[in-house]
Chain A
Amino acid sequence: AAGVIQSPRHLIKEKRETATLKCYPIPRHDTVYWYQQGPGQDPQFLISFYEKMQSDKGSIPDRFSAQQFSDYHSELNMSSLELGDSALYFCASSTRSQNEKLFFGSGTQLSVL
């Protein structure tokens, strides 16, 4: 079965650079969620989108922005990167009607040097 696809799998950036992470949800899933997981930490909710509109916002820094496109894929844009942004970034998807169950991608490991 198709799963959530995230790209790239690994990303290395320097401080103050920008990064774009991409997420392709499971086909027919209309809701996308972004989570950040620091080393040894639990996943932290960043933001979610339903039908291309932001549906909820968590602890996402102002330096980050995200959007969902007409094909339901989503991108997380991160600017002025800081060392503390180094983390595993997960995207998850669900359908609106069954949004209690999230399907997570394998994540993007971002390293800021």
Chain B
Amino acid sequence: SQKIEQNSEALNIQEGKTATLTCNYTNYSPAYLQWYRQDPGRGPVFLLLIRENEKEKRKERLKVTFDTTLKQSLFHITASQPADSATYLCALVNYGGSQGNLIFGKGTKLSVKP
């Protein structure tokens, strides 16, 4: 079965620095991969989707890369701010499942210190 590993449970960085989060998956390469942000006690919020034929995608201070050879996605937040502090989840469609049947990584809890 497909598994997702997000290498760091927690990441602490200084304000203004770039945060880099890693997501690795184990088996089949998905057609696309997603990143969500989750604040404590709240539902995940969609951030970015990157397809298998896209190397990189950007949205404001966010950048996602997707390397199907390495079976890895990197998520970058540039010029990080304390408001970026949250848990970031990587997700992809479950094998044999319909769209929306997602499996999530356990997340990386990012703390941005002023």
| A residues whose Cβ falls under 8 Å from a Cβ of B | 4, 31, 33, 41-43, 45, 48, 55-56, 58, 88, 90, 92, 94, 99-107, 109
Instruction: Tell me, yes or no, whether B13 is within 8 Å of chain A by CB.
Output: no
Contact of B98 among A42, A48, A88 (CB under 8 A): A48
Q: Which 9 residue pairs of A and B lie closest in terms of their CB atoms, listed nearest first?
A: A104-B43, A42-B104, A56-B98, A99-B99, A56-B101, A33-B100, A90-B43, A42-B106, A45-B101
A53 to chain B, nearest CB (A): 12
Query: Roughly how many angstroms separate A91 CA and B99 CA in the complex, as a whole number?
Result: 15
Show 17 residue pairs from A and B whose CB-CB distance is below 8 angstroms, ordered by the A residue: A4-B43, A43-B44, A45-B97, A45-B100, A45-B103, A56-B97, A58-B101, A88-B41, A101-B46, A102-B44, A102-B46, A104-B44, A106-B41, A106-B42, A106-B43, A107-B41, A109-B41
- A-B pairs with CB below 8 Å: how many? 64
Known: A4-B43, A42-B106, A104-B45. 7 other contacts (CB 8 A): A43-B102, A45-B100, A48-B98, A56-B97, A102-B102, A107-B42, A107-B43
| B residues whose Cβ falls under 8 Å from a Cβ of A | 32, 34, 41-46, 49, 89, 94, 97-107
Report B-chain residues with C-beta under 8 Å of the C-beta of A33: 100-101
Q: Which residue of B lies closest to A99 (CB)?
A: B99
- The residue among A45, A103, A106 with the most chain B CB atoms within 10 A of its own CB is A45
Query: Roughly how many angstroms separate A42 CA and B107 CA in the complex, as a whole number?
Result: 7
Query: Roughly how many angstroms separate A84 CA and B8 CA in the complex, as a whole number?
Result: 27
Q: Are B49 and A45 in contact (CB under 8 A)?
A: no
B45 to chain A, nearest CB (A): 7
Contact of B94 among A45, A88, A99, A102 (CB under 8 A): A45
